[in-house]
């Protein structure tokens, strides 16, 4: 689960330790409605959402300075120590993982292609050994050659050390490296048995159990090589050894990052990146609304966070067809939803859960996200851009999604609570949008007699102390919990396993807040991850989705979307479906 906001950091941190969080990308591509404002007067002929289906302003013109601004600062610029969604995109400018996603809009962009590796991973017969061959002649910015041991070292430091805490720990979860304590405690890399490097160009991953989506794991920035001699631990983010088209010129933490061209990057070895601007500059900690204004004025080229414009700029854009033609409205990997605890009365009764499903006014719960531009009304766990997504709606709540009071009343009677009942809605109090969703839900439930009280908890400890702790949930009778989930790689497994697998219910840091432990669901997940045929596998994820929705414990609100603005000076712009934002490695600027 990648973070889109710094606030998510702490909560997610706990998630990471368990590994299977989900993935994030996207497959479907569709789903965007071009409203077709039909304006032809704009300087650029591109229309709203064009960047979603094709490359806008294609150009090979070099030179200029590409300017980013960001309202916050990253957890780290170290590719091995970051869990920010935008940084998995941005870090590719200077750090090449073994595999990466095809540089193309739409479904094509969800396909993995070799980056540092010569080809996709070769799995052994039993699915427990994955082998990658490095391309020969790849150099760091100082001219030294990339060796297989550097990749091994990068994964050892990012996944097995106590120092680098910010990234996910999938490799620690899946690799067979019992007892290894990380390269800072144990300087001898030979003691790390989870990865073998028989020669300088071969990397062999040894897994505890078969895992058919391993290729997705090595597409995350943690597989970008790090030379052991150059590693300075947490300080490494200031001087990353670059393999990409750019290298760090200077980095002032929390203020400014400057990248310049890396002369030792060979485009012949790289099928996914361009090297157009002379410089790339990032300003951190800028006021979000100020960023929007500078974006609209063309003073900065992109909002690094990739989470879209603020309400004020949104209103301006909606009112002006010209501005609207310079925007894209892609899905993010996030689903925004509530979970009903099957262990808190009266939600231990499925009919009481159904009553909530029918009573919810999904237009009202969509409004806080920014209406239709902020997300499509959801009815499933997986989002439309997750591979394996299937469209279905088990609990239609009226033709306009505004709630079906009659059906809700019926369910209430079936549940034995014809006059409604009292319950609590837990929400992260420091997330204004989620609080507004809770209020909207409260108001819709009130109409059918369900009296809900909103309880706010800090997002920092949300997972460790509050909603992620079943005993706390039971004790405080938190019947409904407002949450969100985004996947780390675009497949159903990453999205689903952490939030629906009954075996992942934990005493703390629990993301299966429904406490749904359905043997059929668990079995399907196991079957899926051992299925090597991708089409077959993706069908299974759809079945899991349906099975979970049948429990009525998962209450979807919206498949999140963002409104991205592309100034006319930006060239080669398209929304990369794996990241849900512009492909930062392609951008150029018009002089």
Partner 1 sequence: MTAPLDVSGQALEAQPEAVLEGAGGKAIEGRSLGQIAWMRLKRDKAAIAGAFVVVFLTLIAIFAERPFGGLIALFGDPPNLPNNDLIDPLTSAPIGAWGGISWEHPFGLEPVNGRDIFARILSGAQISLLVAFLATMVSVVLGSLLGMLAGFFGGWADTFISRLMDIFLAFPLLLFAIAIVGAVPDEALGLKGNALRIAVIVFIIGFFNWPYIARIVRGQTLSLREREFVDAARSLGAGNSYIIFKEVFPNLVAPILVYSTLLIPTNILFEAALSFLGVGVAEPQASWGGMLTRAVDYYQTAPHFMIVPGLAIFITVMAFNLLGDGLRDALDPRAR
Footprint on this chain of partner 1 (rule: CB under 8 A)? 289, 310-312, 314-315, 318-319, 361, 363-364, 366-368, 370-373, 402, 429-430, 432, 435-436, 439-440, 442-443, 453-456, 476
State which residue, 162 or 399, has the beta carbon closest to partner 1: 399
State which residue, 158 or 365, has the beta carbon closest to partner 1: 365
Q: Tell me if 317 sits within 8 A of 457, measured CB to CB.
A: no
Rounded CA Rg of the chain: 24
Give the Cα separation of 120 and 215 in Å (integer): 7
State which residue, 7 or 505, has the beta carbon closest to partner 1: 7
State which residue, 340 or 426, has the beta carbon closest to partner 1: 426
Burial of 429 (0-12, 13-18, 19+ CB in 10 A): middle
State which residue, 367 or 414, has the beta carbon closest to partner 1: 367
Q: Report cis status (omega within 30 of 0) of the bond before 346.
A: yes
User: Which helix (H) or strand (E) covers residue 315, if one does?
Assistant: helix 311-319
State which residue, 173 or 434, has the beta carbon closest to partner 1: 434
Give the Cα separation of 546 and 510 in Å (integer): 22
Report, in Å, the least distance between residue 422 CB and partner 1.
11
Please report where in the chains the tokens 């689960």 appear, as a residue: 1
Report, in Å, the least distance between residue 443 CB and partner 1.
5
Q: Tell me if 31 sits within 8 A of 373, measured CB to CB.
A: no
In the beta sheet, which residues pair with residue 131?
122, 204
Give the Cα separation of 173 and 516 in Å (integer): 23
Report, in Å, the least distance between residue 563 CB and partner 1.
10
State which residue, 120 or 405, has the beta carbon closest to partner 1: 405
State which residue, 396 or 432, has the beta carbon closest to partner 1: 432
Report, in Å, the least distance between residue 300 CB and partner 1.
19
Give the Cα separation of 552 and 559 in Å (integer): 18
CA 180 to each of CA 133, 184, 189: distance values in angstroms, whole numbers, following the listed order = 24, 11, 10
State which residue, 194 or 308, has the beta carbon closest to partner 1: 308
State which residue, 280 or 425, has the beta carbon closest to partner 1: 425
Q: Tell me if 583 sits within 8 A of 88, measured CB to CB.
A: no
Give the Cα separation of 87 and 39 in Å (integer): 34
State which residue, 26 or 401, has the beta carbon closest to partner 1: 401
Report, in Å, the least distance between residue 148 CB and partner 1.
50
- Collapse the DSSP code of 68 into the 3-class scheme (helix H, G, I; strand E, B; otherwise coil) and give the result: strand
- Exposure of 410 in the CB half-sphere (CA atoms within 13 A): 8
Report, in Å, the least distance between residue 70 CB and partner 1.
19
Structure tokens at 202: 């071969």
Report, in Å, the least distance between residue 385 CB and partner 1.
22
The angle subtended at Cα 115 by Cα 109 and Cα 118, nearest 5°, is 120
State which residue, 297 or 319, has the beta carbon closest to partner 1: 319
From the list 386, 429, 483, 487, the residue with the least C-alpha distance to 83 is: 487
Report, in Å, the least distance between residue 402 CB and partner 1.
8
From the list 422, 400, 489, 365, the residue with the least C-alpha distance to 21 is: 489
Q: Tell me if 289 sits within 8 A of 313, measured CB to CB.
A: yes
Q: Tell me if 225 sits within 8 A of 146, measured CB to CB.
A: yes
Give the Cα separation of 84 and 101 in Å (integer): 17
Structure tokens at 260: 């310049």
Residue 190 has phi, psi (to 5 degrees) of -65, -20
Q: Which long-range contacts (CB under 8 A, 24 or more apart) does 266-269 make?
A: 266/137, 266/138, 266/139, 269/135, 269/137, 269/138
State which residue, 327 or 522, has the beta carbon closest to partner 1: 327
Report, in Å, the least distance between residue 221 CB and partner 1.
32
Q: Tell me if 172 sits within 8 A of 19, measured CB to CB.
A: yes
* CB atoms inside a 10 Å sphere around CB 44: 16
State which residue, 296 or 578, has the beta carbon closest to partner 1: 296
């Amino acid at each position: 689960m990648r973070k889109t906001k710094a606030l998510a950091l702490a909560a997610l941190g706990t998630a990471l330790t368990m590994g299977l969080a989900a993935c994030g990308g996207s497959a479907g591509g569709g789903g965007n409605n071009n409203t077709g404002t039909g304006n032809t007067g704009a300087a650029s002929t591109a229309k709203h959402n064009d960047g979603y289906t094709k490359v806008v302003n294609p150009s090979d013109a070099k030179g200029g300075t590409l300017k980013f601004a960001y309202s916050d600062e990253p957890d780290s610029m170290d590719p091995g120590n970051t869990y920010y969604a935008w940084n998995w995109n941005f870090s590719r400018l200077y750090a090449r993982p073994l595999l990466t996603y095809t540089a193309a809009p739409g479904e094509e962009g969800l396909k993995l292609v070799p980056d540092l590796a010569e080809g996709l991973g070769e799995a052994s017969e039993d699915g427990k050994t994955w082998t990658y061959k490095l391309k020969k002649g790849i150099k760091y910015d100082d001219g030294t050659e990339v060796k297989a041991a550097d990749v091994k070292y990068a994964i050892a430091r990012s996944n097995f050390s106590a120092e680098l805490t910010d990234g996910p720990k999938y490799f620690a979860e899946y690799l067979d490296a019992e007892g290894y304590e990380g390269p800072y405690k144990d300087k001898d890399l030979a003691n790390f048995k989870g990865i073998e490097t028989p020669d300088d160009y071969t990397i062999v991953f040894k897994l505890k159990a078969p895992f058919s989506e391993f290729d997705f794991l090595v597409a995350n920035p943690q597989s970008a090589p790090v030379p052991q001699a150059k590693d300075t631990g947490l300080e490494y983010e200031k001087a990353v050894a670059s393999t990409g088209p750019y290298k760090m010129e200077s980095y002032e933490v929390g203020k400014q990052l400057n990248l310049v061209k890396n002369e030792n990057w060979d485009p012949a070895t790289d099928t996914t990146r361009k090297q157009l601007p002379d410089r790339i500059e990032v300003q951190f900690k800028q006021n979000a609304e100020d960023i929007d204004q500078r974006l609209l004025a063309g003073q900065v080229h992109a909002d690094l966070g990739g989470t879209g414009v603020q309400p004020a700029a949104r209103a301006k854009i909606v009112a002006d067809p010209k501005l609207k033609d310079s925007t894209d409205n892609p899905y993010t990997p996030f689903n925004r939803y509530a979970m009903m605890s099957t262990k808190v009365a009266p939600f231990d009764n499925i009919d009481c859960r159904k009553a909530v499903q029918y009573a919810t006014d999904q237009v009202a719960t969509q409004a806080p996200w920014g209406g239709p531009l902020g997300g499509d009304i959801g009815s499933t766990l997986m989002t439309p851009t997750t591979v394996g997504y299937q469209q279905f709606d088990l609990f239609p709540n009226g033709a306009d999604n505004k709630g079906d009071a009659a059906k809700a009343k019926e369910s209430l009677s079936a549940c034995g609570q014809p006059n409604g009942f009292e319950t609590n809605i837990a929400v992260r109090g420091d997330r204004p949008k989620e609080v507004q969703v809770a209020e909207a839900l409260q108001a819709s439930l009130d109409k059918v007699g369900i009296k809900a009280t909103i309880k706010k908890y800090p997002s920092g400890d949300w997972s460790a102390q509050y909603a992620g702790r079943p005993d706390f949930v039971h004790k405080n009778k938190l019947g409904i919990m407002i949450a969100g989930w985004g996947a780390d790689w675009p497949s159903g497994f990453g999205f689903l396993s952490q939030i629906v697998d009954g075996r992942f219910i934990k005493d703390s840091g629990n993301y299966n807040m429904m406490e749904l432990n359905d043997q059929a669901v668990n079995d399907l997940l196991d079957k899926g991850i051992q299925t090597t045929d991708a089409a077959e596998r993706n069908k299974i994820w759809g079945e899991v989705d349906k099975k979970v929705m049948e429990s009525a414990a998962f209450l979807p609100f919206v498949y999140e979307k963002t409104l991205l603005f592309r100034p006319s000076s930006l060239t080669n712009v398209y929304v990369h479906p794996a990241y849900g934002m512009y492909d930062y490695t392609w951008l150029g600027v018009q002089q």
